Amino acid sequence: MTALSLLLISSTLLAQSTGITRTIVTKADSSIPGKEDVIASVEIAAGAVVGWHTHPGDEISYISEGEAELLVAHQPPRKIKAGEGFVIPAGVVHSAKNHGSVPIKLVGVYVIDKDKPLATPAPAPY
């Protein structure tokens, strides 16, 4: 199975179970050996909770529409809204909640280990 297939399957499974849709815009080899860069358009449905998960590399995201509650292991919840961004380091367990009545849209940039799924479900850290 190719890395792209694993990436798409992982994204689809996470989307089906949580109200999150990740659409891969592009991906390419990174200048960092063993890594690849992925840009995704992400939408979190109104009222959805993104399950706790990790990424095999850094996530750098920019919120273009809506607002959410970002939950990061061992940190207080943080409200994020359109025009803001956040960074989640590799392997850090995190989640998000859309308490609103409209979808949240964001652009996610991931610098991840090659041949690993984009996201992996994780147990709640609390």
Checking if the pLDDT of 53 tops 90, the result is yes
CA 112 to CA 94: how far, in whole Å? 16
CA 80 to CA 72: how far, in whole Å? 12
CA 40 to CA 123: how far, in whole Å? 24
pLDDT tens for each residue of 82-107: 999 999 999 999 999 999 999 999 99
pLDDT tens for each residue of 24-49: 999 999 999 999 999 999 999 999 99
Low-confidence winner among 16-20, 49-53, 74-78, 117-121 (lowest mean pLDDT) = 16-20
Q: Measuring CA to CA, which residue among 115, 105, 102, 112 is closest to residue 46? A: 102
Tell me which H or E stretch contains 30: none
